[in-house]
């Protein structure tokens, strides 16, 4: 963890490592570098989307439950609300 001062205020840099083993070998190793920024209401005027240039290309996608589950699995970001929402639409009861 490192705390630094930036243009937008105080920044906290955190590195998180995950190791997943399938006995006896390492199957997946993941490292995330996360930046936490101090909340600053003055910065909201700088981050104005109208100031950004137009993108060179664009792709429209429809995010269905399958795509969301694949994205969550790929990024090791298991959001329970996606699973619960899918189960509520496809079954009558959610297991306890």
pLDDT of the residue at 13 = 93
CA-wise closest residue to 4 among 47, 13, 23: 13
CA-wise closest residue to 5 among 47, 32, 38, 40: 38
Would the pLDDT of 14 be above 90?
A: yes
pLDDT of the residue at 84 = 61
Q: pLDDT digits over 26-77, tens only?
A: 988 989 898 888 876 555 555 566 777 788 888 888 888 788 778 777 777 6
């Amino acid at each position: 963890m490192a705390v630094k001062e930036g243009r937008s205020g105080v920044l906290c840099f955190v590195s998180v490592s995950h190791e997943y083993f399938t006995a006896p070998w390492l199957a997946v190793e993941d490292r995330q570098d996360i930046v936490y920024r101090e909340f600053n209401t003055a910065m909201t005027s700088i981050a104005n989307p109208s100031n950004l240039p137009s993108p060179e290309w664009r792709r429209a996608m429809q995010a269905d439950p399958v795509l969301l589950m694949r994205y969550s699995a790929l990024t090791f970001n298991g959001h329970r609300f996606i699973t619960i929402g899918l189960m509520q639409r496809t079954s009558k009861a959610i297991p306890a």
